[in-house]
């Protein structure tokens, strides 16, 4: 009997494997047939004059047109050729329509987005855009739709595998993607939730050292607010609202001519986001009537997001402002359709949204809004219990506006001819707040962090650190920080500006911007390398972008090497760490030992105090850890003692146990021979495809991986993830890097982390992946003759009869 079972089992497995192989071969065939043509001529309705799309050796489109609108049309056409699935997926996210493709599992995400009405705000914002930009948005949409309708190629493989066809692209889709970017780079509401929940388990003194709210002594009495939330039962809804993860990080810096070999400015930028296949970024060059713009776009948006024109270059990092408030609204016990305001009871406004669900029943949401914003019913499974208590939670966020001109600001950045013109264009930037560095051909440099940032009054009960009361006048926003009051500087006396999500304002800054600044390790290292020489050039800026030295590791490693070893392996590991220069190099074992021990140290120090909150509270705790181990934290003894054990522990015990546990983790993952441990192998950058990068049979086809250097605290940043089987993988890094040389702008360089194409069978799907991992770049050329010298094709779009 067992032999028969085994035989039939073998036949079944063989049949399944054969089926899988056939499916993969079919997928490859479908993908190859969907590859676009980069060469030839096409007569199209939508351009006013011939437009050439010249594809260079990397398949980057160089668009030569007679007008901005025609260039936007061609960019839409090129985006559709290469990234149509990515565009479709992202717009479905911002529309709250993922369930139409993926069914019921996508409902939670759709409920949230529909509650926020992000796409509705985007659609209504079209009325506030200039005629010039509206013309570009319309032309771009025509370009996308022309390719979809006229192409004789099958749709990209994702459409075919999911039996889905795209709808025509709309101008509001492009504005919606800007909203989506703002959502991905904003998240202080989740900090409010975490801080509220931390107050449930930590004393005032412990909270002050673990999560210090301000850099000054001026702090609200937040402990009283915790008691209020507990009385109302609101900790249940706050606990149920999921954390969406860390917002984007980044580096940028700019120097004037006093720091360069040429006497002209240099500027560098590398925004850090989740790593996707294909990259969220798409390189492009647009030349309209002889004016050049080159850099990176986001497919779906008809303009260069980061890059340069013939006069200026610019780069962004995320500022991390406090632009969101959770607001506790009190419902009227006698009239549940009302909520309390400082002026009395007011009716909730309501709207209905119907979510269509593939292979399931449609769902209708009734969404309530207050004067502060949407009520977050969709974010909490326990909302009925909270309603019984008579209170709900609304979100107030500066990005939830139907007068959002952020995309207009981006368009005007591309037209600016000086630092001051760029600054003027930032008046239209709403969200997300970015620390923007800029330089111009006249030798000027500057930095400004524009956005709509709320003003909270002196009497505000929480100062933006915790959920506020919707019934209290003192907790209302008092307006917005004026543009002149935002962080900004032009031509500083020391000749350079660097930002890396660190604090960019002095302690006595007039306005409150944020309490969520990143640790200064990356910014300090950038400044250290800038000040190391006075003759910088493109190569030296590339070296800074690729720098793998961790100032955090430099400070923390001595604690691991100073404890008494428990085993011979621990002693060997300590010797390796003593002879380490704190560089996170791919071929080194020390970065792996360090991060394994650090991972365990996080848990050892505060897991007993925080319980289930430990994982979500682990971000940005580097300063806390160093303060605890150095003794500068007066509560260090409490943190180092494990309150779950009867015997008291000291900080040396915690460090020793963390190192021992980290080594055990590495033994289990990579074997006991430390000579075979390599950071690069354990820390590959994983560019995940959405959605097939998470499907075991398909991930090897769709995902793009390369061994990578760097770590969470290096300029060449590589944030590790939370996977149990690959805990040190690089999942959040610089998907785009660039250096701009004002001695000769065509000497500038850039790179993205994958390739231009979104089709896994394309030769240009992973073109840049190895170059990116090696810290290399490709030329950022706008001269047509140089581009055509190595071009792989030119597609000419000829005007038809119907515009």
Q: Tokens 């009716």 appear where?
A: 347
Q: Which residues pair with 266 in a beta bridge?
A: 255, 741
Contacting residues for 450 by C-beta, under 8 A, at least 6 apart: 409, 426, 427, 429, 433, 434, 436, 483, 486
Which tokens in the block code for residue 357? 């669900």
Q: Both tokens of residue 403? A: 């007068």
- According to DSSP, residue 70 is labeled H
Contact criterion met (CB below 8 Å) for 281 and 316: no
38-to-56, 151, 159, 549, 797 alpha-carbon distances in Å: 10, 12, 21, 42, 11
Residue among 174, 250, 604, 757 flagged as catalytic: 250
Nearest to 61 by CA among 39, 45, 90: 39
**Do 352 and 366 form a contact (C-beta atoms < 8 A)?**
yes
Tokens of 57: 């050796």
CA distance 419 to 446: 7
Contact 420, 412 (CB under 8 A): no
Residue 511, Cβ density class (10 Å: 0-12 exposed, 13-18 middle, ≥19 buried): middle
> Measured between alpha carbons, how far is 322 from 514 in angstroms, rounded to an integer?
5
Question: Cβ distance 377 to 392 under 8 Å?
Answer: yes
Q: 10 Å Cβ neighbour count for 574?
A: 19
Cα-only R_g, the chain: 27
Structural contact between residues 416 and 312, judged by C-beta atoms closer than 8 angstroms: yes
Q: Nearest CA to 225 among 510, 537, 460, 525?
A: 460
Contact 266, 537 (CB under 8 A): yes
Neighbours of 648 (CB within 10 A): 11
Cβ atoms 641, 652 nearer than 8 A? no
Q: Which of 662, 685, 282, 218 is nearest to 456 (CA)?
A: 218
| CA proximity to 415, closest of 301, 304, 318, 316 | 304
Angle at 458 between CA 454 and CA 462, to 5 degrees: 75
488: closest CA among 479, 478, 480, 497? 497
Residue 250 annotated as catalytic: yes
The neighbouring-strand residues paired with 434 are: 318
* Residue ranges at the known binding site: 192, 322, 325
Return the SS3 of 40: strand
Could you tell me which of 774, 775, 778 has the C-alpha nearest to residue 764? 778
What token pair was written down for 718? 């590589």
Annotated binding site for Ca(2+): 192, 322, 325
| Residue located via tokens 């001695």 | 743
Please report where in the chains the tokens 């075991």 appear, as a residue. Answer: 696
Closest CA to 51 of 73, 24, 83: 73
d(CA 239, CA 625): 25
* Residue 32 backbone zone (phi > 0: left; psi -120 to 50: alpha; other: beta): alpha
Cis peptide before 274 (omega within 30 of 0): no
Q: Please identify every residue annotated as catalytic.
A: 250
């Amino acid at each position: 009997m067992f032999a028969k079972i085994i035989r039939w089992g073998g036949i079944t497995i063989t049949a399944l494997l054969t089926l899988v192989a056939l499916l993969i071969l079919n997928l490859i065939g479908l993908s190859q047939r969907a590859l676009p043509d980069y060469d030839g001529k096409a007569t199209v309705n939508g351009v006013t004059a011939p437009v050439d799309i010249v594809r260079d050796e990397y398949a980057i489109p160089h668009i030569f047109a007679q007008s901005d609108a025609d260039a936007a049309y061609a960019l839409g056409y090129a985006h559709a050729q290469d990234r149509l699935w990515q565009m479709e997926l992202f717009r479905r996210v911002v529309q709250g329509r993922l369930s139409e493709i993926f069914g019921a599992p996508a409902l939670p995400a759709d409920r949230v987005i529909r509650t926020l009405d992000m796409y509705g705000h985007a659609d209504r914002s079209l009325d506030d855009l200039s005629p010039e930009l509206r013309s570009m948005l319309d032309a771009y949409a025509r370009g996308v739709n022309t390719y979809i309708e006229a192409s004789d190629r099958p749709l990209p493989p994702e459409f075919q595998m999911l039996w889905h066809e795209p709808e025509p692209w709309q101008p509001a889709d492009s504005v919606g993607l800007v909203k989506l970017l703002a959502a991905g780079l904003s998240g202080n509401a989740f900090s409010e939730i975490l801080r509220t929940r931390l107050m449930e388990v930590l004393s005032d003194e412990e909270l002050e050292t673990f999560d210090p709210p301000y850099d000054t002594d001026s702090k609200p009495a937040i402990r009283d607010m915790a008691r209020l939330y507990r009385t109302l039962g609101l900790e249940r809804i706050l606990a149920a609202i999921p954390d969406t993860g860390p917002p984007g990080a980044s580096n940028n810096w700019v120097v004037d001519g006093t720091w360069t070999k040429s006497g002209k400015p240099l500027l560098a930028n590398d925004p850090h986001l989740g790593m996707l296949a294909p990259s969220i970024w798409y390189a492009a060059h647009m030349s309209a009537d002889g004016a050049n713009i080159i850099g990176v776009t986001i497919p779906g948006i008809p303009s260069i997001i980061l890059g340069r024109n013939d006069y200026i270059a610019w780069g962004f990092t995320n500022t991390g402002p406090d632009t969101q408030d959770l607001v506790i609204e009190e419902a009227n016990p006698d009239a549940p359709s009302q909520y309390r305001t400082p002026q009395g009871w007011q009716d909730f406004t309501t709207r209905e949204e119907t979510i269509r669900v593939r292979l399931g029943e449609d769902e209708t949401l009734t969404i309530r809004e207050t004067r502060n914003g949407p009520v977050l019913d969709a974010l909490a499974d326990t909302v009925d219990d909270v309603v019984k208590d008579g209170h709900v939670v609304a979100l107030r966020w500066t990005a939830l506006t139907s007068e959002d001109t952020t995309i207009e600001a981006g368009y005007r950045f591309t037209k600016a001819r000086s630092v001051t013109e760029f600054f003027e264009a930032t008046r239209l930037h709403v969200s997300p707040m970015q620390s923007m560095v800029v330089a111009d051909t006249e030798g000027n440099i500057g930095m400004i962090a524009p956005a709509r940032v709320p003003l909270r009054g002196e009497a505000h009960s929480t100062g933006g650190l915790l959920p506020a009361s919707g019934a209290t006048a003192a907790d209302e926003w008092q307006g917005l920080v004026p543009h002149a009051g935002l962080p900004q500087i032009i031509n500083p006396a020391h000749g350079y500006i660097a930002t890396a999500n660190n604090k960019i304002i002095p302690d006595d800054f007039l306005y409150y911007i944020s309490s969520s600044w990143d640790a200064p390790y990356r910014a300090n290292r950038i400044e250290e390398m800038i000040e190391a020489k006075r003759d910088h050039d493109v190569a030296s800026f590339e070296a800074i972008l690729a720098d793998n030295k961790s100032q955090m590791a430099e400070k923390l490693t001595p604690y691991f090497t100073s404890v008494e070893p428990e085993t011979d392996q621990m002693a060997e590991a300590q010797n390796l760490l003593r002879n380490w220069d704190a560089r996170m190099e791919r071929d080194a074992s020390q970065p792996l030992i360090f991060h394994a021990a650090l991972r365990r140290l996080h848990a050892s120090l505060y897991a007993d105090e925080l319980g289930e909150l430990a994982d979500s509270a682990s971000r940005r705790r580097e300063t806390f850890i160093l303060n605890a181990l150095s003794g500068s934290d007066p509560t260090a003894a409490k943190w180092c003692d494990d309150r779950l054990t009867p015997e008291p522990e000291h900080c040396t015990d915690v460090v020793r146990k963390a190192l021992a546990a980290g080594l055990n983790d590495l033994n289990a993952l990579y074997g006991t021979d430390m000579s075979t441990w390599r950071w690069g192998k354990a820390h590959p950058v994983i560019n995940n495809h959405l959605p097939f990068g998470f499907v075991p049979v398909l991930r090897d086809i769709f995902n793009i991986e390369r061994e990578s250097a760097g770590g969470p605290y290096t300029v060449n940043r590589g944030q590790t993830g939370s996977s149990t089987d690959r805990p040190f993988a690089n999942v959040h890094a610089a998907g785009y890097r660039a250096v701009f040389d004002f001695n000769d702008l065509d000497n500038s360089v850039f790179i993205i982390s994958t390739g231009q194409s979104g089709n896994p069978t394309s030769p240009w799907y992973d073109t840049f992946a190895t170059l990116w991992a090696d810290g290399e770049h490709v030329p950022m050329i706008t001269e047509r003759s140089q581009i055509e010298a190595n071009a792989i094709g030119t597609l000419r779009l000829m005007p038809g009869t119907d515009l």
